[in-house]
Structure 1
Amino acid sequence: MIDFWLAAGLLLLVALSFLLIPILRSRRAQLEEDRTALNVALYQERVAELQVQREEGVLDAAQMDAGRAEAARELLADTEGVAAPRVSRLGKPAPLLAAVLVPVLGLGLYLHFGASDKVELTREFSQAPQSMEEMTRRLERAVAAQPDSAEALYFLGRTYMTQDRPADAAKIFERTVNLAGRQPELLGQWAQAQYFADGKKWSDKVQALTDQALKADPKEVTSLGLLGIAAFEGQRYQEAIDYWNRLLEQLPPEDQSRVALQGGIIRATEKLVASGGKVAEAPAAKPAALLKVRVDLAAELKAKVQPGDSVFIFARATSGPPAPLAAKRLTVADLPATVELGDADAMMPQLKLSNFPEVQLVARISRAGQPTAGEWIGRSQPLASSTTAPQTLTIDSPDK
């Protein structure tokens, strides 16, 4: 921060120089003008003395003319090189007043509209925090400085959860959702914080949050883990086992939480058996989805496209995230073409065709090579992701 204020001070000095230098020059010009006036007064006094001496008969006419010429030469020698005085329209007080007001107003405007707090935060975040409390303070200051930053709010909420402050975390996650939208991960985090803030009591609010999160993303990990905890606490051990098994499928093999999760499944199984129940067999895995689609170009568009234009063919859920579930890329020169879209073409592991019951097929021509925007498009009617019959898709409409 010291470097910032030093730089600001240097810039201020440069600005003041444009005001102070003309004032100093005007003072020098004033001194030269005063010296010229003095020389003129001395010349006039010398001429008056010569005139008195001429009237008294001390000097004759020739001597008086010679003395006057000598005095004139001395006056010219003293005033030679002196520039003509410049008249300032503003006067001297105006530049001096501006020299005082510029730094004062500049500092006041910066403190009001500037971002000194953000500069200080940037400097602090460039250094590793010494404790969790220090990290929390930094995040709280970041949220205060940038109240519309969903990212800062999210990290602050996660930090509150690690500090066992679920009530504060729930409020922060609610603000994050209001800013960033009702994304599945944010809804899951909000539901988890609210559940622990309510003393591990399940509520309609928490149920609604988890339902919405899993509807948008059936594999949202926080919601699955939370539902498993709530089911275990409510002695619904089979539900806990089912939720935790679904969660276990989403975790990578190296994830350290797998051990604790497997331990929870074992405890739930033991309690279920001890209460006289029987563990239900896991449902058979859904068969991998595979859609076959033949893509062609409408006859009236063939003269309006170029062979090298990109063609993006993808399937997306009719009710769910807008991101493509599976995609392929061709060119206009490849059309007509038959492609297969399946789970192996998933853009993200958690977004597979088989996870969504109904999808829509889309083919887009983009001269710029952008999958999200183009010139021409074709769309199918909604169809089941388990459809095995070949589909036909024609690109025939402007992409609006």
Structure 2
Amino acid sequence: MTLFWIYCAVLLLVALPFVVLPLWRSAGRNDAGNGEVQRDAANLEILRDQSAELEADLHNGLLTQDAYEQGKRELQARLLEEVKTSGQSAAKPRNPAKALAVVLAVALPLFSVPLYLALGNTNALLPQEDMGMDGGFGLLRSEAQLQKLEKKLEQQPENPDGWFMLARSYSELERYADAARAYGRLVKLVPDEAQLWASYADAYAMSQNRSLRGEPTKLIEKALELDGNNTLALALAGSAAMERGDYAPAIAHWTKLINLLPPDSKELPMFRNAVQKASEFLDKHKSGKLKP
């Protein structure tokens, strides 16, 4: 969906000159020194910049949808007030074409998205497959972007979207301690999502040399308590059991996982092999050939 909005922004930037420039040029040059027009243009330019900043913050996960919509409503009200004020100050001659050009330059980007959301089919923007919580959230790659988001979250610590993006970005960059810290903040805000607890456990384990002992095991148990069919939690639970030498629980977790995976899953051979290895260890343990 983010790509769709980028396309929309590009199309608006391309289309605006064809709409605005003819109106602007038709005004002629006789009002080039009109101070009020320049003042209005500056005010409207500020509104347009603020609108663009709102869009960017929403797409980067720095604003919730409610906060974004509230900001849009405030900007729209200010734009309408600006247009009203401009229309009332008629003491000096104005060129209506130039005023209209300025208003259109701001109004088209500002009102087009809310109008589409009201009248268009937003479901058509969604991918057909279930993307889970990953859908619609990008990843930050640069240190500057990460630090900017960190500072935003210091000011807005109750923003779960921001913490989710931060956690995923750090995980992708293999900064697992930072990812675990972000997931720790996130699960306090969204405590009922099993996938988040499982991802928290995964990042925590990676931050301590891939060991699932201790805190990661507790996080896995929390995830399975919320959703006993969560595939990531089941995979981790099997690995944690193997790490402890508890082969029967490992087999149980992985067998359940295998039954949940689709028949064409590329992960099926790996987990079937894991179950086979765990069964071999269990048989050796029962026969006394393998010490606990």
Cα gap change, 1:182 to 1:7, in 2 (>3 Å): same
Partner amino acid for 2:44?
G
Cα gap change, 1:4 to 1:269, in 2 (>3 Å): same
Aligned equivalents of 1:265, 1:173: Cα separation in 2: 30
Partner amino acid for 1:4?
L
* Displacement of 1:97: 0.8
Q: TM-score, normalised by structure 1?
A: 0.38
Cα gap change, 1:159 to 1:272, in 2 (>3 Å): farther
Q: Secondary structure at the match of 2:34?
A: helix
Check if 1:103 corresponds to 2:41.
yes
Aligned equivalents of 1:15, 1:178: Cα separation in 2: 54
Aligned equivalents of 2:41, 2:21: Cα separation in 1: 9
**Which residue of the partner structure matches residue 216 of structure 1?**
226
Q: Quick check: which one's strand share is greater?
A: 1
Aligned equivalents of 2:173, 2:271: Cα separation in 1: 21
Q: How does 1:118-133 map to 2 (within 5 A)?
A: 118=56
Q: TM-score, normalised by structure 2?
A: 0.50
**Which residue of the partner structure matches residue 4 of structure 1?**
12
| Cα deviations by residue, 1:247-288 (Å, 9 ceiling, x for unpaired) | 22222322221110111112222223334458xxxxxxxxxx
Check if 1:166 corresponds to 2:176.
yes
Aligned equivalents of 2:174, 2:284: Cα separation in 1: 33
Check if 1:260 corresponds to 2:198.
no
**Which residue of the partner structure matches residue 302 of structure 1?**
none
**Which residue of the partner structure matches residue 257 of structure 2?**
247
Q: How does 1:318-397 map to 2 (within 5 A)?
A: none
Aligned equivalents of 1:248, 1:3: Cα separation in 2: 47
Aligned equivalents of 1:254, 1:155: Cα separation in 2: 30
Give the greater-gyration-radius structure (CA). Answer: 1
**Which residue of the partner structure matches residue 318 of structure 1?**
none
**Which residue of the partner structure matches residue 114 of structure 1?**
52
**Which residue of the partner structure matches residue 281 of structure 2?**
271
Aligned equivalents of 1:202, 1:241: Cα separation in 2: 17
**Unmatched segments (≥5 aa) in structure 1:** 28-92, 127-134, 279-400
Give percent identity, aligned residues only: 20
**Which residue of the partner structure matches residue 217 of structure 2?**
207
**Unmatched segments (≥5 aa) in structure 2:** 1-8, 61-124, 126-137
Q: Match for 2:238 among 204, 221, 228?
A: 228
Aligned equivalents of 1:177, 1:246: Cα separation in 2: 25
| Cα deviations by residue, 1:312-355 (Å, 9 ceiling, x for unpaired) | xxxxxxxxxxxxxxxxxxxxxxxxxxxxxxxxxxxxxxxxxxxx
Partner amino acid for 2:210?
K
Q: Secondary structure at the match of 1:118?
A: helix
Partner amino acid for 1:265?
V
Question: Which structure has more RCO (C-alpha within 8 Å, separation ≥ 6)?
Answer: 2
Aligned equivalents of 1:173, 1:253: Cα separation in 2: 31
Q: Is the 8 A contact 1:139 1:156 kept in 2?
A: no
Partner amino acid for 2:273?
G
Q: Is the 8 A contact 2:141 2:173 kept in 1?
A: no
Q: Secondary structure at the match of 1:114?
A: helix
Aligned equivalents of 1:9, 1:268: Cα separation in 2: 67
Over aligned residue pairs, what C-alpha RMSD do you find? Answer: 4.6
Aligned equivalents of 1:153, 1:139: Cα separation in 2: 16
Q: Quick check: which one's helix share is greater?
A: 2
* Displacement of 1:175: 5.0
Aligned equivalents of 1:115, 1:8: Cα separation in 2: 19
